[in-house]
Amino acid sequence: MINLLPPEEKQNIFLLKKEKLTIIWGIIILVFLFCLGLILLSIRFRILAETNYQKNALEQAKKENQTRDFISLNNVIQKYNKELAQLDSFYKKEIYFHNTLSTIMNVPSPKGLYLMNFSLSRGKTGAVQVNISGIADTRDNLLDFKKNIEENKEIKNIYFSPESWVSPKNVNFSLTFEID
The yes-or-no verdict on residue 92 having pLDDT over 80 is no
pLDDT of 1 above 60? no
pLDDT confidence of residue 95: 64
The CATH classification number of 97-179 equals: 3.30.1360.100
Report d(CA 174, CA 162) in Å as an integer.
9
| pLDDT of 103 higher than 60 | yes
Phi, psi for 171 (deg, rounded to 5)? -85, 125
137: number of Cβ within 10 Å: 15
Contact between 171 and 126 under an 8 Å Cβ cutoff? The reply is no
pTM of the model: 0.48
More confident residue, 116 or 18: 18
CA nearest to 175, candidates 151, 143, 138: 143
Looking at residue 46, its pLDDT comes to: 95
pLDDT category of residue 96 using cuts at 50, 70 and 90: low
Distance between the two ends of the chain, CA-based, in angstroms?
113
> pLDDT band at residue 29, thresholds of 50, 70 and 90?
very high
**Residue 49: pLDDT band with limits 50, 70, 90:** very high
Structure confidence by residue, pLDDT tens digits, 128-164:
888 889 998 988 888 888 898 888 888 888 888 888 8
Strands 155-160 and 128-138: unpaired
Average pLDDT over residues 100-107: 82
User: What does 5-43 look like in DSSP terms, one character per residue?
Assistant: S-HHHHHHHHHHHHHHHHHHHHHHHHHHHHHHHHHHHHH
63 burial class (0-12, 13-18, 19+ CB within 10 angstroms)?
A: exposed
Q: What letters, b where the CB count within 10 A reaches 16 and e where it falls short, cover 105-130?
A: eeeebbebbebeeeebeeeeeebbbb
Q: What angle do CA 92, 93, 99 make, to 5 degrees?
A: 105
